[in-house]
Amino acid sequence: MCNYNLRHANLDDVDEIYEIEEESFDSPWSRKTINDEIETNVFGDYLVVEEDGKIIGYFGMWLIMDEAHITNIAVRKSHRGKGIGSLLMEYGISYAEEKQLFGMTLEVRTTNAEAIGLYEKYGFQIEGIRPKYYQDTNEDAYIMWKYFRGEE
Ligand SMILES: CC(C)(COP(=O)(O)OP(=O)(O)OC[C@H]1O[C@@H](n2cnc3c(N)ncnc32)[C@H](O)[C@@H]1OP(=O)(O)O)[C@@H](O)C(=O)NCCC(=O)NCCS
């Protein structure tokens, strides 16, 4: 029986979030960036999910005006495909909905089938492309949106 605990991130979580960053992305955020996002970014909101006290995934967004911009979501490799990403998305979406936002948006590598599958599962749709958005590989990004109040 899995025992997951979902909560807001704090500065004690930086090292574990960094571990997940490192194993999840070719160009991971630094410890300092993660620290600053949690400590000083007034727009940032970060969630972690723990299993038996160990962080196994995290989710971040910026709440700006009436939009939520998802900055990152990642799950430890050992725990993928078990619904953890879905758990984080559902919490993030309900949090944004409670704040009566217009919608949520994000960028994702056009080759990242797992993440695109996760976002589509929760009603995000591809609305555009940012050419060569990722400087490390020159890859394009899809811009995806999920609207709460209907398109304007
Ligand atoms: C994207 C990520 C967070 C998904 O987390 P997860 O815990 O494995 O996700 P879940 O088990 O909840 O799966 C949710 C949905 O994602 C999609 N998905 C997950 N694994 C997939 C795969 N291998 N292929 C295609 N779709 C996949 C499916 O739509 C799945 O829904 P379903 O199980 O109902 O079919 C995880 O793969 C990850 O950490 N990837 C590396 C970091 C990353 O790329 N983050 C996105 C940055 S934009």
Number of domains the chain contains: 1
Catalytic member of 107, 134, 142, 147: 107
Answer yes or no: 16 catalytic: no
**106 falls within a domain:** yes
The Cα 79–Cα 16 span in angstroms is: 14
In a domain, 80, yes or no: yes
Q: Which of 119, 120, 127, 147 is catalytic?
A: 119
Instruction: Please indicate whether residue 83, judged by its CB atom, sits closer than 6 Å to ligand 1.
Output: yes
Residue 107 is among the residues annotated as catalytic for this protein: yes
Whether the predicted pLDDT of 12 surpasses 70: yes
User: Does the residue 8 lie in any domain?
Assistant: yes
**Strand residue runs (E) in 9-53:** 44-51
State pLDDT tens for residues 21-74. Answer: 999 999 999 999 999 999 999 999 999 999 999 999 999 999 999 999 999 999
Q: Report if residue 152 sits inside a domain.
A: no
State how far the Cα of 64 lies from the Cα of 45, in Å rounded to an integer: 11
Domain boundaries, position 139: 4-147
In a domain, 139, yes or no: yes
- Whole-model pTM: value is 0.95
Q: Where residue 43 sits, what CATH number does that domain have? A: 3.40.630.30
Yes or no: say if 118 and 89 are a contact pair by the CB < 8 Å rule: yes
Per-residue model confidence as pLDDT tens digits over 109-151: 999 999 999 999 999 999 999 999 999 899 999 999 999 976 5
